[in-house]
Structure 1
């Protein structure tokens, strides 16, 4: 987002048009200067990124009042930004605020405050081969959705089809752990989470590599730079070799969302990867709980 008033309101306009059609939108406020700094053009005093998140919040509330189909919205701020603590406090009352963290920042007081508000790791319980098979099918399906989708703005269509992000993820973490009799933050639960997500991740990447051989890699791919990323250097040798040979169809086959919207509520699942507040007396619901019994 440009650090000037015209650019900020242009981003707000684009977000409004996107939400109007029931699509999701994300905005990074990290580029905006902290509150109190003097403006370069007219000499005014910057109000800071947190003040502008209120515009997005009001815009979203206005569109919801019109009865349009609800889309997801998220605003982010880099953890090293001077406004980070004010942003964290604002996230308790404003829609879709999230924080971009680093390992060093994760040990700070600010992060501990945030984690008390929004807990989460990830897990899904299934046999490995069934989970891998499902991840492969989902990868192909989500890739096809990109070509079938109509995007509100031309720039969105260009980026979506150039990067082909799909972000395959999981939901119902707390329900899975409750059924397994595992405490959410226990070592056993973390081991199950790591194994499950590793299976999903590797299956999705292998399916995307196979798709690249059929339909071609995503057009934004710079192969050497992609393989040099720290995350990719930790992938299995066959995945790295496949990308080096034929590329990969999707820039980001997997992703983890703390709040995926209303789908878990319809299926009576815990929200995405968050912990359940209390399992005592919980009644079995639809979706994963019933299917797992």
Structure 2
């Protein structure tokens, strides 16, 4: 499509730019226009170029100013400014040792990372269960959920006002003795409000659910000296488990047991009533990790699209598919695939440059990030693009088109990273023989595998699909990420810099384009499908076909109406596992639950 939004089209787009991304310092406005913002970002990225930096700056600027590629919000807000900030949106923090000094050291590291503008993920599986004794001090633990409240209060204090709220992911293993408390914690309103919660689901647990077996709740023996309530330990046998903070499997004390199906039902009931916790299929995440040979993963960034090792981070950006649709709504509608591929090539280069020009809250983060040079090129505007091509999001035809687009982006991203390796070298943790054996790499075209073998590759991971909330609004309210459109017109709440909330009436991008083109909202094509008109299975199927071509992961929310029965809802996570997803989150609309979006 010919440059539909080379400027800010909506009032909300302008609000987002002025309050989140426009650069001003000491009361002096530096970005007079959105083009000034894109020029600032393009110029900053081009500083990482050793040759032809002026030419690259122009190429970056053209792609950005036409809204073809939307970098992550931290990049737009911070690149080329004098602010002491990171350009990375998301981090996973280090392994928390089970001691007061380690816990508060990690609270401090989390505070510094949030202060610099990064969201954080923390795994709390390493903290002793409530009521247990420390081997060295004999102190009684209050359990991981209690300590999570310290992180939550810290986040409130760090980011108590303004247009940006704190974002944290908290995870706990499904076999941790406090897992039931973790599952139920958000039943009480106002608790852990800065956290997204996800249970780390193992393959053993899924198998136990399928076989209707008992499930053991355990914790590493090394960290436990005794138990205040001896009856709470149902037996003293040890079992071996892979556990965060340890190499290989370690002996774990059995604290209790329950039916695996009962625990699974508790997860699903909490999710049905409270929209949390989500699930992360952690064994699958590690099995499919391109760097399994050198790292273990126990957590993700706050929205789940980037599984990361301790102190890992990823900088993200999204290709705006609405800008590549030719002859929208007509029988000849099509996507400019060559344009998409060209943008994917540039996106890889831009994000790799971001790694080189960014600041970091912690030196540990910088070291980890430079060793892998992870990036995440994704998509946004998928649903709108499908509508403009007359393809139903929930149909086989819609999924086939979406998969074709993502496949092309994936292959082009890998080719671009190989080209960068020729001149810049591979990421330091690259080991050709081990890397080429990884499952995602083995399913790439033979020519790409041969290129990696011959030249190496610049970035360990290249693809991720993020929620793209604010940047999609900046681009004229295109459908976010891979999500279906929420509604044709709706109300949206937006935080202001002073902490107040503004309410905007907005139109979906494709819907607005249809009305402008045809003058009426009557007789909308069948392809105008809204999220609530799709079944959870249709949501999952779209996520599944795209996950095949994404080496990181995908942020996706399965929206279900309030009237959706629990008997139908309870199998959603199981279906997600069977479809080989890496994780899943649902949101069931419930009265009195706060929401950013609302239909009439």
Shorter chain as denominator, the TM-score bin is 0.7 to 0.9
Q: Which residue of 1 aligns with 2:457?
A: 248
Q: Which residue of 2 aligns with 1:65?
A: 160
Q: Which residue of 2 aligns with 1:186?
A: 395
Following superposition, the deviation at residue 270 of structure 1 comes to: 3.7
1:124–1:197 CA contact under 8 A, matched in 2: no
Q: Does residue 205 in structure 1 map to residue 304 in structure 2?
A: no
2:348–2:416 CA contact under 8 A, matched in 1: yes
Q: Of 263, 269, 279, which aligns to 2:471?
A: 263
TM-score, normalisation: structure 1: 0.79
Q: In structure 2, do the counterparts of structure 1 residues 253 and 71 end up closer, same or farther at CA, with 3 Å as the change threshold?
A: farther
Q: Secondary structure at the match of 1:2?
A: coil
Q: In structure 2, do the counterparts of structure 1 residues 206 and 35 end up closer, same or farther at CA, with 3 Å as the change threshold?
A: farther
2:384–2:510 CA contact under 8 A, matched in 1: no
CA deviation string 1:61-100 (max 9, x = no partner): 2122255x84763324256343556545557863342535
CA deviation string 1:115-143 (max 9, x = no partner): 89489999956432222111110000010
Q: Does residue 163 in structure 1 map to residue 372 in structure 2?
A: yes
Bigger mean CA offset, 138-147 vs 100-109 = 100-109
* CA distance in 2 between partners of 1:151 and 1:238 (Å): 36
* CA distance in 1 between partners of 2:272 and 2:381 (Å): 19
Aligned alpha-carbon RMSD (Å): 3.8
Q: Does residue 7 in structure 1 map to residue 102 in structure 2?
A: yes
Q: In structure 2, do the counterparts of structure 1 residues 261 and 195 end up closer, same or farther at CA, with 3 Å as the change threshold?
A: same
Q: Secondary structure at the match of 2:169?
A: strand
Q: Of 93, 97, 102, which aligns to 2:196?
A: 97
* Larger fraction in strand: 2
Q: Secondary structure at the match of 1:65?
A: coil
5+ residue gaps, structure 1: none
Following superposition, the deviation at residue 39 of structure 1 comes to: 2.9
Following superposition, the deviation at residue 60 of structure 1 comes to: 1.9
CA deviation string 1:187-236 (max 9, x = no partner): 33332332222222111111111100110001121222222222222222
* CA distance in 2 between partners of 1:133 and 1:112 (Å): 45
CA deviation string 1:143-180 (max 9, x = no partner): 00111111122112212222111111222344344545
Runs of 4+ with >6 A deviation: 118-123
Bigger mean CA offset, 21-30 vs 90-99 = 90-99
Q: In structure 2, do the counterparts of structure 1 residues 89 and 195 end up closer, same or farther at CA, with 3 Å as the change threshold?
A: farther
* CA distance in 1 between partners of 2:167 and 2:470 (Å): 12
* CA distance in 2 between partners of 1:101 and 1:39 (Å): 26
* CA distance in 1 between partners of 2:390 and 2:202 (Å): 31
Q: In structure 2, do the counterparts of structure 1 residues 24 and 231 end up closer, same or farther at CA, with 3 Å as the change threshold?
A: same
Alignment of 1:84-163 (within 5 A): 86-87=181-182, 89-90=184-185, 94-99=193-198, 100=200, 105=206, 109=265, 110=267, 114=271, 117=275, 126-163=335-372
Q: Secondary structure at the match of 1:167?
A: strand
Q: In structure 2, do the counterparts of structure 1 residues 56 and 181 end up closer, same or farther at CA, with 3 Å as the change threshold?
A: farther
Q: Which residue of 2 aligns with 1:26?
A: 121
Q: Which residue of 1 aligns with 2:425?
A: 216
TM-score, normalisation: structure 2: 0.42
Bigger-Rg structure (1/2): 2
* Larger fraction in helix: 1
1:24–1:71 CA contact under 8 A, matched in 2: no
